Chain A
Amino acid sequence: MWASGRDALASFQEADPIGHPGALESFVPILGSGHEALADLQEGNYRGAALNGALAVLDAVPMEAAGNAIRKGAWKGGSTTWNATRKWMAGRGYFEPGQHGHHWAVSQDSALARWKPGWFNQPWNIKPMPSPEIHGRIHGPYRGADQFGLLGRYWHGAPGWWKAVNADAGVRAVKSQTDQGRQ
């Protein structure tokens, strides 16, 4: 299997160059990075291929979140009391009835939310929590368990698409350094 994989790679690298994506294509999520990864792979730039491949995968997460937002609705009109938002989100499959929701970007206790109560009871600002304990440990010690550290709070508190955006930025920074090193 490994031999056939190596043969396939060698044959790909000996084929006509597929070239790098143009300026416009490079901005298309998944497609731009994916094309760039294949071009790097064909040229034997395995580090570039890995970084661009990672970017293509990371592009997919926010795209999926955007798709979900379009399908389910990311902004709630009408009443935005917590009761109304919870019902609205449960009705659209964001989370199960009874599941804890965490205000991850703008907390309910922030000056912004106190200024405009309800403004931030919005699907984009609510992350469903796997359990009350996880939710509690984001905010502080909870029922005898310590508060999560910074990384734990970020990991449990932020939605997947936000973590993907952050990782994407990190990979792009590494890639930029790599590209500069190659020039």
Chain B
Amino acid sequence: MSELPFRWPVLGFGPDVGPWGDFLVYFAKPSDFEICGSWTLEHGARLGMHLVDSSGNCWEIQNIRSLGPAGSPLAQIIGAIFRQRRHRLDVEFAPKEPMTLDQVKTRAIDVIDAQPHQWRDDEAIAGEAGAPREESQMLEATKDRVRRATSLQELIESVDVPLAE
């Protein structure tokens, strides 16, 4: 793959692939983008993903195929044992209209609203450490952290967006 045009980190708005609906992930470096797990590949979890980099430039992943296993032979064996094989990828993506940070935040909040359980701290709601907390209040606090972010990096960190895998 030729040099990637992104300014890292890159936020990915994932398509609904069934078990959890729309989702957010981020890519911190090229290898995060050029390698993925077998589950992600088999379920097409990156196909159609909308990418926003730290400059606000956007792309959409249009095609993705495996170039073979990733990692050392030992890593491949361990991956096979734990059913988490990694694949090197050939990814085709096309540019889209850039987004402002406010637009990214609005879209991120839409994803959070669509899948609130994904952002829920079950143990806090159940009262593991102190009184049980209200799910709606915690969700609002999560969205507030997104609203307060002043950069893509801060947005990713503020709500613990998971690394793409």
Contact = CB atoms under 8 A, between A and B. Distances in A.
Nearest to A85: B162
Contacts, number: 97
Nearest to B37: A78
A87 B126 contact: no
B86 to A, nearest CB: 9
Interface stretch (A4-12, A20-28, A69-77, A174-182): A69-77
B83 A72 contact: yes
A90 B19 contact: yes
Given A108-B128, A142-B127, A83 B19 contact: no
Interface in A18-54: none
B19 A97 contact: yes
Interface string A123-153: 0000001001001101110110000000000
A103 to B, nearest CB: 6
A92 B119 contact: no
B121 interface: yes
B82 A77 contact: yes
A132 B126 CA distance: 7
B43 A91 contact: yes
B6 to A, nearest CB: 19
Give the interface size bracket for B toward A.
20 to 34
Contact of A79 (B122, B126, B165): B165
A77 B76 CA distance: 13
B125 interface: yes
Contacts of B122: 82, 100-102, 129, 132, 135
Interface residues of A, number: 38
A81 B162 contact: yes
B83 A97 contact: no
A84 interface: yes
B128 A91 contact: no
B23 interface: yes
Most buried by A among B126, B127, B129: B126
B121 A87 contact: no
Task: Name which of A70, A71, A91 has the most chain B CB atoms within 10 A of its CB.
Answer: A91
Interface string B15-26: 000011101000
Contacts of A102: 122-123, 126
Q: Pick the most buried of B132, B160, B162: most chain A CB atoms within 10 A of its CB.
A: B162
Contacts of B117: 86, 97-98
Contacts of A107: 123, 128
Nearest to B83: A73
Given A82-B122, A102-B126, A109-B129, 18 more contacts: A73-B82, A73-B84, A77-B82, A78-B84, A81-B160, A91-B20, A97-B20, A97-B118, A101-B122, A102-B123, A107-B123, A132-B122, A135-B122, A135-B126, A138-B126, A140-B127, A140-B132, A142-B132
Interface of B: 19-21, 23, 37, 39, 43, 79, 82-84, 115, 117-119, 121-123, 125-129, 131-132, 160-163, 165
6 contacts: A78-B165, A82-B121, A97-B118, A136-B125, A139-B127, A140-B132
